[in-house]
Amino acid sequence: MSSALDIDGLVKDAEASISAARTTEDIRQVATEVGGKRSPLAEAHRALGALDPGARKELGRLLYEARTTIDALVERRRTEIRFAEMQATMESDRIDLSEFIPGTVKSSPTRGHLHLVSQTRDALEDVFVGMGFEVAEGPDIETDWFNFGALNIPPAHPARGMWDTFYLNLGAPESTLLRTHTSPVQIHLMEAAVVNGDLPIHAVMPGRCYRRDTPDARHLPVFHQIEGLVVDKGITFADLAGTIEVFTAAYFGSDIHSRLRPAYFPFTEPSAEFEVTCTICHGEGCRTCSQTGWIELGGCGMVDPAVFDAVGIDPDQWTGFAFGFGIDRCAQMRHQIADMRALNENDIRFLRQF
């Protein structure tokens, strides 16, 4: 009988006892039996001393391997049993949650707080609803067509560099993505209006957007925007400028004004950026506004005929304007939040301030 066969049998026996264990107590006992001081393994180890150095080394290695195997088996079985026992406890502890007796749950002495972004979004929505806008929403995941193509930004268009895009492994490479702006909701709205024959559109579209920016004090890769779209008869750039001005005063206060300056967006023409009076210095000039008295808030413009073409609206019959800006940015400006990252840390001391 060679010593190697001996060890194989030893491991097999141990394996049988280990898998026979059913409870935590079982496995504790088995562990002692197969690996304890009086186990065959320990006996064999003690017998090593009597062997010549060559045989001792060889058998020692085999015993070490056997020990490792048995320990691992014990540990695995122990975890299995612990999990099964926990499942059983939880199963037996299941209760009928419809046995709820009103008045038995302690109510909170304090009220919770809506997130500052929600409060800002609600306030912005309310201002626009008061100005005659509906509120529309769209999906976070879009196809290239809705986020770019229909907005007059074909593949490889240099303007795509304006948005660092998160693409998704869905369908063809770079065909689906997380929307980089709320503008695709415009396309959904216009397409639906064309299909249903219910133009005009007067809507704002708030929502979550994604850009592959490393987070810093002024940027988050996940952020919120609100977009506006008006498509109606006789709508002009004057209506756009007027709407921005009325909104600015209504949201920020009557001493805050707006101004437009030329800019480029592929989906509007003419395009503009809009700035509002610096809310810190009220136009006097300070560090926040780089002494200009103005803070850039968002982009806007008249809907580009290429966009109307993509959704099938006749640009000679209908004209429209669109605008968009950051909800988080509004909150940051209004509440003087130095670091944007405070918005998604979820520190209760921050949440409770608003």
- Shortest distance (Å) from residue 157 CB to other proteins: 7
- Under 8 Å between Cβ of 34 and 75: no
* Of 220, 336, 217, nearest in space to 286 by CA: 336
User: What's the alpha-carbon Rg for the chain, to the nearest Å?
Assistant: 34
Contact region with other proteins (CB under 8 A), list: 3-11, 31-39, 57-65, 337-345: 337-345
CA–CA gap between residue 297 and residue 260 (Å, rounded): 10
Report the site for other proteins in 20-39 (rule: CB under 8 A).
Answer: none
Residue 131 sits in the site that holds other proteins (CB under 8 A): yes
- Residue 262 corresponds to which tokens in the numbers above? 């030329």
CA-wise closest residue to 206 among 325, 351, 346? 325
Size, binding site for other proteins by CB under 8 A: 114
Question: Residue 282: what residue type?
Answer: H
Q: Which of 186, 202, 158, 182 is nearest to 304 (CA)?
A: 186
Residue 26 CB, nearest distance to other proteins (Å)? 21
Footprint (CB under 8 A) of other proteins, residues 71-100: 86, 90, 93-100
From the list 11-19, 24-32, 65-73, 298-306, the region that binds other proteins by CB under 8 A is 298-306
Per CB under 8 A, 167 contacts other proteins: yes
Q: Binder to other proteins among 58, 85, 140, 216 (CB under 8 A)?
A: 140
Using rule CB under 8 A, residue 312 touches other proteins: no
Angstrom distance (rounded) from CA 228 to CA 230: 7
Decide: is 293 part of the binding site for other proteins (CB under 8 A). no
Q: Phi first, then psi: give them for residue 53, nearest 5 degrees.
A: -55, -40
Segment interacting with other proteins (CB under 8 A) among 35-43, 72-80, 330-338, 345-353: 345-353
Q: Among residues 69, 123, 125, 285, which is the contact residue for other proteins, using CB under 8 A?
A: 125
